[in-house]
Chains A and B, each alone.
Chain A
Amino acid sequence: MRMATETGVAIGESEWEVKVPAKKLKNKLHFENLKAVVMDTGLCSRCLTCVSICPSGLIVTAEDNVDFPDYEERCLDCGACVRVCPRYDYKPLSGLGDYIEFIAGQSKRFKGQDGAMATELIVSAIDMGMIDRGLFVDRDERWMTGIFHVQDAEQLGVLTLGGTKYTFANVLPELKKAVMFTKRGVGVVGTPCMVSGIRKLQQEFPVFRERVKLVVGLFCTENFHYEEVSRYLQEKGVDFSKLVKTDITKGKFIATMTDEEVKFKVKELEEILPGGCNVCTDFTAVESDASVGSVGSAKGFSTVVVRAENAKKVINYIREKRTAEFGEAKPEELDFLIGHKKKREENIKRD
């Protein structure tokens, strides 16, 4: 990339040591370990941390399931995937976590699902120069997710950036790219599993520690495989070409279309619930710098749980720039969903 053309690089070292993770199953490839421990046991939350770190870049998502075709010969067996997988030795987190501030906010600049505060946070961080790019989940007209590197508030003119998508997105692989391209830092919005994946990456690798500056988590009940949810919704009579937004409130799944609305109980979606979400107990992205979600605040507002200093800085910046207005949020409203997810702990089979 920026090879020797950039001047004044620190003289590095020509000898160094790297620790490799211990293998649970000996004389097996690391990936096979991962496969046995995480994927086959249905723990995999498809956060794609392994995909992002794999040096061979050959771990792929086939039909939304993480897979490594002919890993026997292609795998480099470096163990990176094992090092970074948040579920490899899984310590389920739950609850609200500790926070500095618990507020509701509504962006003046952006129209989103609710308050569009996730967008607001990232963009403000860009404006204040903390980061030079934020990762957003974009979707095409068929609601396939893609990642958008936002570098400028103007780019938020692309309407499909806002709004919740209840399907998985390859955020972390793009995060790797973003980290390699970035000059100041990267901000990212992700589901709780992704957040913990990022944290794992950061604790393992200084590069991510330095360059991922802002992690915004989302309140997440569950997330669906694109194939299945699309099939399911089409059965329900949802026309993707006309679909405007999807939302879950009051235990109801609401798909709003240009002309009509399709509603049904979230419970019904249980049947296509992925295994990873089935064992996920984290609703509020406890590890994030700031969590954002609709629950717990008035209509048109989104709840913001500020957990870390950098997020606090951004909030203050927003306050002084007045790009959003803030209101009261009620933590107790979250309790139901937190509890709902906490119940999933028993789905984890301990061996």
Chain B
Amino acid sequence: MEEYKNANMRIINSGPLAPFRKWASKWSLWPCHFITSCCGVELAHAFAAGYDGERLGTLNMGISRQSNYIIIEGTITRKMARALQFVWGQMPDPKFVNVIGACGERGGIFWNSYNITHPSDIVPVDFFIPGCPITPEALLRGVRATQDKIVGIDRKTIEFKRVELPFEKQLEERMVPTSPKLFAPTPLIKVDVKREVDWGKELEDNLKNKLEGLYESITITGKSSIAIKTTQENLKEVAQKLREQMKLDHVKSVNVIEVPHERKFIVEYIISSYTEEELMPVLVTVFVEIGLKDPKIESLTSIWESANYSEREMHEFFGVLFDGNKGMGKKFILAPDTPDLPLRKEFKIPEERYVFEKDMPLDELMVPIEPPKDLYIPISEEFIEEAYDNDEIVVPIGPHHAGSGHLRVTFRIKGDIIVEAIPEPGFVHRSMEKLAENRLYIQNVPLFERLAINDPVNMNLGYVRTLENALGIEVPERAQYLRTIMAELSRIEAFYYDSGIFSLFFGHTTGFMYSMAIREMVIEVLMGMTGSRSGPSFLVPGGIRRDISDDVLKLTDNLTFAIHKRMKKFEDIFVYNPVTIARAKGVGVLTKADAIRCGIVGPFLRASGVNYDIRKIAPYEAYDKLDWEVTTGDDGDCLGRFLGRLAEIKESVRIIKQAVDAVRSIKGPILSADILGEYKEAASDIKGNFFRVFGNLVLPKGEWTTITEAGRGTLLFSIISDGESNVPYRVRVISPCWMNLRGFMEALKGARYADFWAVYGSFGYFPPEADR
């Protein structure tokens, strides 16, 4: 690696024209932005109106041949590592590499994931920029450092002053404490723990009649959640009945729980309904227990298409064979060289270390990872053969492509029409579910925030609410309102990121810049509240970390007025631009039936005409106290999806305005006393007691499932706790984008090649969120 770097510098310094070479290279670093993960969001800001990296002559290119500079944004998964090798190899010399974000350095929060690699093992990295995610200023600092390096200025960007530590009385040689994590021995795992709630009697009876003799037990496991235990043989029939007679028309989550000491898998489908008004908030869990040896179960894809990809995922993670699903036995999310069945309990990931021994070599700080050697061809030969026989061409898009983030879609195109689109997610699969099983409950708060760093608060809220439901904690009113404000701000952020990408996909850079400028305003406010641009791990079980001052609330209030001016301009120049309308209208139509069948969620579902918004049907935080409306549409095409979200954002602004007005008059604690226990002083600011309050959370026994309306739709967290360990036994995350992927592919059928980007943008597909 070192010699590569030197080689580049040698090229720069060679020949009589060296001064020109240096000058030219310095001022014309064109990054082939290697969007891999969260940090891509901040990169967008660094090159958008807020900071405008183009001032420094760095023009974002996105095509490897013409660029001479890679900015690697965060996690490089085992799949992505191959793309990285490709892209770096295709760039003409001399070329330079920066890594931004902790994930790309020593792994960051994903340091012990089974699916990441270290870019420094793959390409010669010139500069590492810390942060998670980094700030745009830090990114530009990296650019400056590279420029300095090119012209031969060698200076450290940060100089630490060493101060000798005070000598005190010598304590004699002592023991070091052990890990704070507690794993209960042979825990008892039950997904249907009965709970006494005054709900669901008639539903229970109804189910009992409908499923006469097909179920083993039907248990009410909490408010609006009910569990049906059945057998392998009856599963399909049960599903059939539920689908036809109960109108439970989509699968929210497919989950497998391995209980090695009981030699069994628990396979559960969490299903719900989009058509039955009163069943909408209900989560029905259908589960079976199957043996550990060659586990096999009948796939329910034929009944619920929405289960398709999740089944494939579970098959890949646990080796459970879903008989009848086409994707069995194929790689879907994982790379060929990631360990098999990674979510099995016997597969262990590196443990935390808390003590830095004397004169320990520094490379022990990093988990050694073998970078992938082989280069990996996704498309099967016969697939190509077949395509050519039918006089179609095969076009793979991504993972590194100016127009697709880190998703690979393989098209079969006849003329200009897409015949078939085969998705290949998993380029940002950072194995969150596995990591969560090995961390304290509170440590998972920042982890799950990294699902979608451009919609951080909602991700945060989803997880925290799950913990609160499990612990039965009531959040103080002031905190509720503040959380609502933040969640809506984050919703706006999410939308404007997506619309920026949407307009960029249409080659409309102005729309992108305007969106990012509006995000910049929102971020300013969020930063005032939380202290972090886009990684505020600010929500904690029971409330928020600290109270928010009135002048920040004033700022928020101003924002709700000021934002409209720039939104208007954005609409004038992009949204209602005739070309945009022409490109997006009537393209990628998802009919209501299709939308439900594919189980898509959130604004995209509403755009297809389903009135389903969790904030209304199962209100949380302060949403039921505020006056707002759900927005739906009937067209279900790209434009409908986009305008629907736009209208939703205007509602969000309304919500924020009301919430700010309300919260000013509400004084009081922002952390609930139930969770604080005896640390009552922390009621308005957790500072100083964080670990003592949250460090040893233990959830009650059973499964805890909560759905939240995130920026892009339903976010489902399902935590299985054994009631004794202070780490979750299993966490299942179903992110909106993951659920939307199926519908996304459905919408592509019959569209034109160029429409892929319209559909992509209209779904706001954010791969890190989908791949988890």
Whether chain A touches chain B in the assembled complex (some CB pair under 8 Å): yes
A contact set with B: CB distance below 8 Å = 1-7, 138, 146-149, 151-152, 155, 157-158, 174, 177-178, 181
Alpha-carbon gap, A124 to B111, bound state (A): 46
Closest to A159 in B: B263
With contacts defined as CB atoms under 8 Å apart, how many contacts are there between chain A and chain B in the complex? 45
CB distance from B406 to the nearest CB of A (A): 41
Chain A residues closer than 8 Å to B567, beta-carbon distance: none
B724 touching A181 by the CB < 8 A rule?
Answer: yes
Q: A2-B696, A4-B692, A177-B185 are in contact. Are A148 and B677 (CB under 8 A)?
A: no
C-alpha gap A155/B259 in the complex (Å): 11
Q: Complex Cα distance A1/B262, Å?
A: 26
| A177–B185 CA distance with the chains assembled, in angstroms | 8
Report if A7-B678 is in contact (Cβ < 8 Å); known contacts: A152-B190, A181-B184: yes
Q: What is the CA–CA distance of A6 and B679 in the complex, to the nearest angstrom?
A: 11
Closest residue to B289 on the A side, CB-wise? A157
A5 touches B188 (CB 8 A): no
In Å, the complex CA distance between A279 and B695 comes to: 49
0/1 interface trace, chain B 568-595, chain A, CB 8 Å (1 if under): 0000000000000000000000000000
B705 to chain A, nearest CB (A): 21
* A4:B678 contact, CB within 8 angstroms: yes
24 A-B pairs (CB sep. < 8 Å) = A1-B182, A2-B696, A3-B695, A4-B677, A5-B692, A5-B696, A5-B697, A6-B677, A7-B677, A7-B678, A138-B261, A148-B186, A148-B261, A149-B187, A151-B188, A152-B188, A152-B190, A155-B188, A157-B262, A158-B263, A174-B185, A177-B185, A178-B185, A181-B724
Q: Mark B721-736, 1 if CB is under 8 A from A, else 0.
A: 0001000000000000
Q: Chain B: which residue is nearest A6 at the CB level?
A: B677
* A158 and B262 contact, CB distance less than 8 A: yes
Indicate if B246 sits at the interface (CB-CB under 8 A).
no
Chain B residue numbers with a CB within 8 Å of A138 are 261
- Shortest A178–chain B CB gap in Å is 7
Q: How far is the CA of A155 from the CA of B678 in the complex (A)?
A: 37
Known interface pairs A3-B695, A152-B190; 7 further A-B residue pairs with C-beta atoms within 8 A, sorted by A's residue number:
A1-B182, A4-B677, A5-B693, A147-B185, A148-B261, A149-B184, A158-B261
A178 to B695 alpha-carbon distance, docked (Å): 22
* Residue of B182, B186, B677 touching A149 (CB-CB under 8 A): B186
Kindly state the separation between the CA atoms of A151 and B185 in the bound complex, as whole angstroms.
Answer: 11
- Chain B residues touching A, range: 20 to 34
Q: Which chain B positions have C-beta within 8 A of A155?
A: 188, 262
Nearest-Cβ distance from residue A107 to partner chain B, whole angstroms: 20
Considering the chains assembled together, what is the distance between the CA atoms of A3 and B697 in angstroms? 10
Q: How far is the CA of A146 from the CA of B185 in the complex (A)?
A: 11
Residues of B within 8 A of A (CB): 182, 184-188, 190, 261-263, 677-679, 692-693, 695-698, 724
Q: Please, which residues of chain A bring their CB within 8 A of the CB of B697? A: 5
Q: Which of A3, A146, A147 contacts B692 (CB 8 A)?
A: A3
Complex CA gap A167/B535 in Å reads 54
Q: A residues within 8 A CB of B679?
A: 4
CA distance A148 to B679 in the complex (A): 37
Minimum distance in angstroms from B674 CB to a CB of chain A: 10
Chain A residues whose CB sits within 8 angstroms of the CB of B724 once the complex forms: 181
Residues of chain A with a CB closer than 8 A to B692's CB: 3-5
Residue of B nearest to A158 (CB): B262
CB–CB A3/B678 < 8 A: no
Output the least CB separation between A122 and chain B (Å). 14
Min CB gap B704→A, angstroms: 19
With CB as the reference atom, state the residue of chain A lying closest to B689: A4
B186 touches A1 (CB 8 A): no
B231 to chain A, nearest CB (A): 13
Please give the distance in Å from A58's CB to the nearest CB on chain B. 12
Query: In the complex, A4→B695 CA distance in Å?
Result: 10
B186 adjacent to A147 (CB under 8 Å): yes
- Complexed CA–CA distance, A6 and B261 (Å): 30
Bound-state CA distance A3–B261 (Å) is 28
Nearest A residue to B696 via CB reads A5
| Least CB separation from B190: chain A residue | A152
Residues of B with C-beta under 8 A to A148: 186, 261
Smallest CB separation, B289 vs chain A (Å): 9
Are B696 and A1 touching (Cβ within 8 A)? yes
Chain A residues with CB below 8 A from B188, complex form: 149, 151-152, 155
Query: Which residue of chain A is the closest to B723 with respect to CB atoms?
Result: A151
How far apart sit A157 and B188, CA to CA, in the bound complex (Å)?
A: 13
Q: How far is the CB of A227 from chain B (nearest CB, A)?
A: 23
How far in angstroms is the closest Cβ of chain B from A339? 39
Q: How far is the CB of A199 from chain B (nearest CB, A)?
A: 23
